[in-house]
């Protein structure tokens, strides 16, 4: 085999379609565009979603729903997670190290799910009303 004898395999390369090059090409005269209309003319086309002047579908449907991008920075921890954690002073950093919340999390809230029987102090961690009552009942506290 020589470099000057290398060819692509048979049928792997197709010639590009040359439109408007005479009747014998099969794509002469109108060049595959049909006869009249906006799509037959150079530069004539409509924007995506255009329905010929009819009110487009995306404008006919009601506006509904929104998902805030701030949600990815919020995390939740349950009372049973705090019970299993085994740390007396709980803050955001200790929760990240324990793997209870992700690295992107900036705000954590304790929710009332499970039981808490030991004293826990929360620093920089919010709690729901039920969780706060359960923490204080177990002898713990919430620091701002």
In degrees, rounded to 5, the angle at the alpha carbon of residue 55 between the alpha carbons of residues 50 and 60 is 115
**What pLDDT is attached to residue 142?**
92
Each residue's pLDDT tens digit, 1-16 = 899 999 999 999 999 9
How far apart, in whole angstroms, are the C-alpha atoms of residue 141 and residue 123?
A: 9
Provide the 3-class DSSP secondary structure of residue 107. strand
Structural contact between residues 49 and 57, judged by C-beta atoms closer than 8 angstroms: yes
- pLDDT tier for residue 46 given thresholds of 50, 70 and 90: confident
Structural contact between residues 75 and 111, judged by C-beta atoms closer than 8 angstroms: no
**What pLDDT is attached to residue 72?**
93
**What pLDDT is attached to residue 44?**
82
At 54, phi and psi to the nearest 5? -65, 150
Q: Nearest 10 degrees: CA dihedral of 116, 121, 124, 127?
A: 30
How far apart, in whole angstroms, are the C-alpha atoms of residue 45 and residue 41?
A: 8
Structural domains of the chain, ranges and CATH numbers in brackets: 18-46 (no CATH), 72-143 (3.100.10.10)
Tokens 């487009």: give the residue.
56
% of the chain beyond a pLDDT of 90: 88
Each residue's pLDDT tens digit, 69-92 = 999 999 999 999 999 988 899 999
Provide the 3-class DSSP secondary structure of residue 103. coil
**Mean pLDDT of the residues in the chain:** 93
| Both tokens assigned to 8 | 């692509």
- pLDDT tier for residue 144 given thresholds of 50, 70 and 90: low
Name the DSSP letter for residue 54.
Answer: B
**What pLDDT is attached to residue 45?**
83
């Amino acid at each position: 085999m020589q470099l000057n004898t290398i060819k692509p395999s048979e049928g792997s390369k197709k010639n590009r379609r040359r439109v408007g090059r005479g009747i014998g090409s099969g794509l002469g005269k109108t060049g595959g565009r049909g006869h009249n209309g906006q799509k037959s003319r150079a530069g004539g086309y409509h924007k995506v979603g255009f329905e010929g002047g009819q009110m487009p579908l995306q404008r006919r449907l009601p506006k509904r729903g929104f998902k805030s991008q701030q949600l990815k920075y919020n995390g939740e921890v349950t009372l049973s997670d705090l019970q299993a954690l085994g740390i007396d002073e709980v803050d955001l950093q200790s929760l990240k190290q324990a793997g209870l919340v992700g690295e992107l999390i900036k705000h954590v809230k304790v929710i009332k799910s499970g039981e808490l029987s030991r004293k826990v102090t929360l620093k920089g961690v919010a709690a729901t009303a039920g969780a706060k009552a359960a923490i204080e009942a177990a002898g713990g506290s919430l620091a701002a």
